[in-house]
Structure 1
């Protein structure tokens, strides 16, 4: 399903849903970040997605990483919360989403790298390699926060 992301765009469609989602900044022992190139928009992003009614946000992050990358992870901390109302995501089925995302830090504890039906590629990137990747600027903000060592992003 196609996905178009808008940010601070007066021509963006009006949201018709609010979705709670989790994402994960998975870092390896060399400080590399795990990213996927999404099928729905072709952009690089951290693994993540909507929380299901039967799980917590950390459980959603763990499940999404497993589904999208093949890795089993353990949540180790918090990157931040991302709730900017100027960020709107429109899907091909008519859903126009305002997303509430909590991004966690995580480490691999098992599994093996694989590509899902949601990703073209899944790769590890050194911090300096992430700046040249094509990604939505709201995702880039999360990447910058994940690679920094400051307090969790509050917004």
Structure 2
């Protein structure tokens, strides 16, 4: 399913759904961050997705990271909460989702990199390498918030 991101865009469609979600800044022992290139918009992003009934936000981040990257993680803390009502995702099925995401800090504990139906590439990057990657501004904000060490952030 295709997705278009709008952030503080007066031409954005009005949100018709609000879904709790989690993402993870997964940092390995060398200080590299795990990213995936998404199939729905072609941009680099943190692993993450919507929370399912019966799971915690931490469990959601662990599940989504494994599903999208093949890496099992342990949650270490929180990077921030991201709830900008001006940030919406428009899907080709008509859903326009307002962002409500908790970004957690995690470390890898097992697994090996693989893509999924949601990711066309998965790789580790140094913080400086992330600067040149195409990504939506909300993902870049999460990475920059982690890099600055001023967490947890509420935005």
Q: How does 1:37-52 map to 2 (within 5 A)?
A: 37-52=37-52
Greater alpha carbon shift after TM alignment, 143-152 vs 79-88: 143-152
Q: Give the structure-1-normalised TM-score.
A: 0.98
* Equivalent residue, structure 2, for 1:106: 106
2:74 corresponds to 1:74: yes
Residues 80-126 of structure 1: per-residue CA shift (max 9 Å, x gap): 00001110100011000002000000001111111111011000000
Query: How far is 1:151 from its partner?
Result: 2.5
Report the Cα distance in structure 1 between the residues aligned to 2:79 and 2:46, rounded to whole angstroms.
12
> Over aligned residue pairs, what C-alpha RMSD do you find?
0.7
Residues 2-28 of structure 1: per-residue CA shift (max 9 Å, x gap): 000001111111100001000000000
Structure 2: runs of 5+ lacking an equivalent: none
2:149 corresponds to 1:149: yes
Query: How far is 1:147 from its partner?
Result: 2.0
Report the Cα distance in structure 1 between the residues aligned to 2:151 and 2:95, rounded to whole angstroms.
33
Residues 44-91 of structure 1: per-residue CA shift (max 9 Å, x gap): 000000000110000000000000000110000000000011101000
Q: Give the structure-2-normalised TM-score.
A: 0.98
2:26 corresponds to 1:26: yes
Q: How many pairs are equivalent? A: 155
Report the Cα distance in structure 2 between the residues aligned to 1:147 and 1:138, rounded to whole angstroms.
14
2:64 corresponds to 1:64: yes
Query: How far is 1:154 from its partner?
Result: 1.4
Query: How far is 1:145 from its partner?
Result: 1.1
* SS of structure 1 residue aligned to 2:122: strand
Report the Cα distance in structure 1 between the residues aligned to 2:134 and 2:122, rounded to whole angstroms.
14
* Equivalent residue, structure 2, for 1:95: 95
Query: How far is 1:146 from its partner?
Result: 1.8
